[in-house]
Chain A
Amino acid sequence: MAIKRLVKTNELKFNSIRNMVEEHRRSLYLRYDKQIDTLFILWVSPGTGTIVHFIDNHVALLYKPNNKEVVGVQIEDFEYSFIKEYVEVQKAWRLSDACKEVDDLGDLSIVFEKQKTQAAEEVGTIADHLLNRRDREAALV
Chain B
Amino acid sequence: MKRRFRVTDPRGIIIHCTNETWEEHVLVNHPDMTGKENEVIEALRNPFMIFADAEKPKERNIYYLLRTSMVKYIRVVVRLIGEKSGEMVTAYQADSGKENEKMIWPSSD
Given A1-B102, A33-B25, the answer on whether A46 and B97 have CB atoms closer than 8 Å is no
Complex contact B25–A49 (CB within 8 A): no
| Complex partner residue of B97 from A2, A48, A77, A81, CB under 8 angstroms | A2
| B14 beta carbon closer than 8 Å to chain A | no
Number of interface residues of A (CB under 8 A): 29
Interface of chain A, main secondary structure: loop
| A56 beta carbon closer than 8 Å to chain B | yes
Complex contact B29–A54 (CB within 8 A): no
Complex contact A57–B32 (CB within 8 A): no
Stretch of A3-11, A17-25, A86-94, A111-119 at the chain-chain interface:
A3-11
Count: A-B pairs, CB below 8 Å: 85
| Complex partner residue of B71 from A1, A7, A46, CB under 8 angstroms | A7
Chain A nearest Cβ from B21, distance in angstroms: 9
| B109 beta carbon closer than 8 Å to chain A | no
CB nearest neighbor in A for B49: A3
Complex contact A46–B31 (CB within 8 A): yes
Complex contact A6–B99 (CB within 8 A): no
Complex contact A6–B29 (CB within 8 A): no
| B54 beta carbon closer than 8 Å to chain A | yes
CB nearest neighbor in B for A81: B55
Of all A-B residue pairs in the complex, the 8 with the closest CB atoms, nearest first, are A49-B32, A52-B94, A7-B95, A6-B95, A3-B97, A5-B96, A57-B98, A57-B54
- Listed A/B pairs (10) with beta-carbon separation below 8 Å: A1-B102, A3-B96, A5-B96, A31-B28, A36-B29, A38-B29, A47-B31, A49-B31, A53-B94, A56-B99
